[in-house]
Structure 1
Amino acid sequence: MLKQFGCTKFATGEDFDTGELFVQFEHRGRMVSLIASSKGYAAAWLKENPYNNRRKGTKADHEAKALEKGGTAVYSILRDWVKGQVTAIEIGMLSFESAFLSHILLPSGKRVIEHVEEQKLLEGK
């Protein structure tokens, strides 16, 4: 899908320490980096499916299962979100910049949203 959209590079990966998954792609010279936490999904799954003595395996096994489910779900969520954004761009509903601005990588290697948050550019009051 991204190749048909005109992207020339594509990569996915995982930071095992933080539980973050990422999708990166380049479109017309702009690198985009999407990051999502599988741990966040796993925590939500565990809240709905808490460990108890009737479950097979140990509590650690149950938590590992939640993290695995989180990884699968987060990749699906990212795929669906990107597909929706690309579709919105293709039909003229959004520009590339409005769809992906916060995730575009700056020359510093930080995403726009990270720069905005560090500089407190959106602070209220």
Structure 2
Amino acid sequence: MGRFAENTTVSVEKSRAEIERILERYGASQFMYGRDDLRGLATIQFQASDRQVRFILSLPNKSEDRFWKHSRGRRTPDAAEKQWEQSCRQSWRALALCIKAKLEAVESGISEFEDEFMAHIVIPSGGTVGELMRPQIEAAYELGSVPSGLAGFLPAPNESE
């Protein structure tokens, strides 16, 4: 099975504009886009359901072997650039699909907003819930139990069990 939209011809700019239209259609506001070419990151941020939400999209590094090598040897710089651009287009199409699916799940009553977007919700420190929780989750698995700092957030055990 191939990757979603691996052969898309939709430009990065069109996908970004589509994401903005999707967000507007579902009632989001304060759309913001940013790019950090040095670190290979793009950011989409918006407000919806009284929450700030941020998606950070890691873009591929132009120097990765997958863009330069193929079965017959080495690609030309132009060919490698085209392969890299294709990978960027694919990433943006996947992000558009992800955001649209999450918003539709909420709109259709399948899920709650916080459940769909929890990892991407911006907290007062400026980070996201996912950035805060990933190390905590890793620690819980390493310890085989919930770290004491998280215990207060979990419901009490059911005494009937």
TMscore range, shorter length = 0.7 to 0.9
Identical aligned residues as a percent = 28
1:122 paired with 2:134, answer no
Change (3 A) 1:29 1:121: same
Q: Aligned letter for 1:9?
A: Q
Q: Could you tell me which residue of structure 1 aligns to residue 87 of structure 2?
A: 70
User: Please, which of 39, 47, 72 is the counterpart of residue 18 of structure 1?
Assistant: 39
Which runs of 5 or more residues in structure 2 are unaligned?
Answer: 1-21, 145-161
Alignment match of 1:96 (pick from 113, 128, 135) = 113
Q: Could you state the TM-score of these two structures normalised by the residue count of structure 2?
A: 0.63
TM-score by length of 1: 0.79
Q: 1:4 aligns with which of 4, 7, 25?
A: 25
Instruction: Please tell me whether the aligned partners of residues 21 and 74 of structure 1 are also in contact (alpha carbons under 8 angstroms).
Output: no
Q: Quick one: distance in 2 between partners of 1:95 and 1:113?
A: 17
1: distance between equivalents of 2:44 and 2:60? Answer: 16
- Judged with a 3 Å threshold, the aligned counterparts in structure 2 of structure 1 residues 14 and 66 are, in CA distance, closer, same or farther, namely farther
Q: Shift of residue 43 of structure 1?
A: 4.9
Superposed, 1:50-61 pairs within 5 Å as 50=70, 52-53=73-74, 55=75, 57-58=76-77, 61=78
Q: 2:150 maps to what in 1? A: none
Shift of 1:38: 1.6
CA RMSD of superposed structures (Å): 2.7
Whole-angstrom distance in 2 between the partners of 1:70 and 1:13: 19
State the one-letter code of the partner of 1:121. Q
| Deviating 4+ runs (over 4 angstroms) | none
Bigger drift between 22-31 and 93-102 goes to 22-31
Give the C-alpha shift of residue 75 in structure 1. Answer: 1.3
The answer to whether the Cα contact below 8 Å between 1:19 and 1:38 also exists between their aligned partners in 2 is yes
- Contact 2:45/2:55, CA 8 A, preserved across alignment: yes
1:62 is displaced (CA, Å) by 4.0
> Paired residues, what number?
118
Deviation at 1:25, TM superposition (A): 0.9
